[in-house]
């Protein structure tokens, strides 16, 4: 019979890898708590309109990459391709802004984009990120940029670089877009059908076109948006830069960094790793002051970022020690009469002594069970056979020095409590 395989662009995380994820997730929780950010979790799917109205209908994500379907009730649904929109939807729906003037939120989650799979690019991938609602001030932009950068540094990544830019408020965009259209219309015949559509509807998206020729034309011809932003936008950006300068974080100002999602206003930034190859973006984010209102809430400034967990783990791969964590006790059970008392004892030790105990469930020989205890790096084994059952005892073996003692069953818990 044919074996069923996982879907292209998805990955199974096997036990020799999941421990890396667990450690990273613990660090993310701890780090965010240090900054006073609280976790938010949103459903795996949303109404498709949420992404069309936020990420934007001319973006690659909405245009080509969403997993969308009509369910049995006729609802148009989408597996979430990103989290800024769902978190903003939840912020508005639960009126989080009413109980608190500032909401500092973070998440760790799985996302879905139907991109062409390659190293560092999957169709199901994971992000951790933050979204802050309430502050319009540059120190909030700087806080999250510093967070993203120092978190990646704290993991030992030293080949990372930060690029920042500002794309100004949406109010200035009209004039800039007309100029772009006038200039780029000359090259219309060189653009793909999708880029022609972008040229007409949202030429800013041409900066992150996947078509190399288009990107080259845009980069060589188009003026940067930085030349068109307002005095206030510039001041905001200068203030973000000034805080970053004081914090000692190195960055470059990349005037072409517009990012591939429509909701951004003012600050945009990306952190890249030189060890990643072509998919080198570890983290991206920016300000999106108009999104809350655009999705039906009361106007609230907001800023956030998201980092790809698979890509972080890829860059860490060389440093990861695949050491076996030890377990406390392996329970060796040699007669069928020992199974039930052995499992009970194991449970009592777990509950009362807070130790890890693995019990034998393969009915192997004494020798192979002892070999298994060694393989698992157990600190102790507890051996229960026919003789022990008769005398209501168990043998406790210290696996480090080989010492064995025979002990009454009812004294074992105390023995391990005392350590
Ligand atoms: P994004 O740039 O689309 O931004 O994604 C952020 C990060 O997710 C990327 O830098 C990359 O590390 C990772 N990533 C994206 N697509 C894939 C993929 N197919 N496979 C593996 N990793 C991937 C956003 O999603 C915005 N919501 C970020 C944000 C939050 N802006 C404001 N708040």
Q: What is the DSSP string of 312-364?
A: HHHHHGGG---PPPP-SEEEEE-SHHHHHHHHHHHHHHHHHH---EEE--S--
Q: 124 pairs with which residues across the strands? A: 112
pLDDT per 10-residue tile (average), the chain, 419 residues: 96 93 96 98 98 92 95 98 98 97 98 96 98 98 98 93 95 87 92 90 86 89 90 97 97 92 96 89 97 97 98 84 78 95 96 95 96 95 96 96 96 90
Q: Which ligand 1 atom is the nearest neighbour of the CA of 81?
A: 25
Of 10, 84, 12, 11, the closest CA to residue 46 belongs to 84
Q: Which ligand 1 atom is the nearest neighbour of the CA of 312?
A: 12
d(CA 400, CA 412): 19
Residues 6+ apart with CB under 8 A from 399: 373, 374, 378, 379, 380, 381
Indicate the helix (H) or strand (E) that contains 253: strand 252-253
Q: Whose CA is nearest to atom 12 of ligand 1?
A: 308
Q: What is the pTM of this model?
A: 0.92
- Calculate how far, in angstroms, residue 290's C-alpha sits from the geometric centre of ligand 1: 20
Query: What strands lie across the sheet with 68-70, from one edge to the other?
Result: 45-47, 76-79, 68-70
- Calculate how far, in angstroms, residue 222's C-alpha sits from the geometric centre of ligand 1: 25
Q: Whose CA is nearest to atom 16 of ligand 1?
A: 121
Rounded to whole angstroms, what are the CA distances from 413 to 199, 352, 402, 403?
Answer: 73, 7, 20, 18
Phi, psi of 356 (to 5 degrees): -90, 130
- Calculate how far, in angstroms, residue 126's C-alpha sits from the geometric centre of ligand 1: 9
Rounded to whole angstroms, what are the CA distances from 220 to 33, 166, 223?
Answer: 44, 19, 9
Q: Whose CA is nearest to atom 17 of ligand 1?
A: 121
Q: For the chain, report the end-to-end CA distance as a whole number of angstroms.
A: 52
Of 316, 341, 329, 325, the closest CA to residue 373 belongs to 329
- pLDDT at site 289: 97
- pLDDT at site 44: 98
Ligand 1, from 308, 310, 315: best to mutate by most atoms within 8 Å of Cβ?
A: 308
Q: 378 pairs with which residues across the strands? A: none
Ligand 1, from 90, 152, 284: best to mutate by most atoms within 8 Å of Cβ?
A: 284
d(CA 149, CA 336): 57
3-state secondary structure (DSSP) of residue 3 = coil
């Amino acid at each position: 019979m044919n074996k069923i395989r996982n879907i292209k662009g998805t990955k199974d995380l096997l036990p020799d890898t999941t421990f890396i994820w667990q450690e990273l997730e613990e660090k993310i929780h701890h780090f965010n708590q240090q900054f006073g950010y609280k976790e938010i979790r949103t459903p795996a799917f949303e109404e498709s309109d949420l992404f069309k109205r936020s990420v934007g209908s001319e973006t690659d994500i909405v245009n080509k990459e969403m997993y969308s379907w009509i369910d049995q009730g006729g609802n148009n649904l989408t597996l979430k391709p990103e989290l800024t929109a769902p978190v903003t939807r939840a912020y508005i729906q639960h009126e989080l802004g009413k109980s608190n003037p500032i909401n500092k939120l973070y998440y760790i989650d799985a996302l879905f984009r139907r991109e062409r799979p390659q190293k560092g690019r999957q169709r199901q991938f994971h992000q951790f990120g933050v979204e802050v609602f309430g502050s319009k001030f540059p120190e909030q932009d700087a806080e999250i940029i510093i967070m993203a950068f120092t978190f990646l540094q704290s993991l030992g990544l030293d080949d990372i670089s930060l690029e920042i830019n500002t794309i100004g408020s949406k109010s200035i965009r009209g004039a800039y877009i007309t100029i772009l259209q006038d200039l780029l219309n000359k090259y219309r015949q060189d653009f793909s059908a999708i880029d022609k559509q972008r040229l007409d509807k949202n030429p800013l998206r041409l900066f992150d076109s996947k078509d190399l020729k288009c990107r080259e034309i845009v980069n060589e011809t188009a003026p940067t948006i930085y030349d068109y932003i307002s005095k206030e936008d510039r001041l905001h950006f200068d203030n973000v830069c000034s805080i970053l300068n004081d914090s000692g974080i190195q960055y470059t100002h990349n005037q072409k960094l517009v990012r591939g999602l429509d909701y951004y206003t003012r600050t945009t930034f990306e952190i890249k790793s030189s060890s990643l190859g072509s998919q080198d973006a570890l983290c991206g984010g920016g300000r999106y002051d108009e999104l809350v209102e655009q999705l039906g809430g009361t106007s609230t400034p907001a800023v956030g970022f998201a980092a790809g967990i698979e890509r972080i783990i890829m860059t860490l791969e060389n440093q990861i020690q695949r050491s076996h964590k030890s377990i406390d006790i392996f329970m060796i059970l040699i007669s069928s009469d020992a199974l039930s008392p052995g499992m009970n004892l194991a449970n009592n030790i777990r509950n009362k002594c807070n130790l890890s105990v693995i019990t034998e469930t393969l009915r192997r020989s004494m020798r192979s069970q002892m070999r298994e205890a060694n393989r698992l790096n157990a600190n102790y084994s507890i051996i229960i056979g026919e003789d022990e059952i008769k005398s209501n005892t168990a043998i406790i073996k210290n696996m480090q020095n080989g010492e064995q003692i025979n002990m009454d069953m009812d004294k074992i818990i105390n023995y391990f409590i005392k350590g």
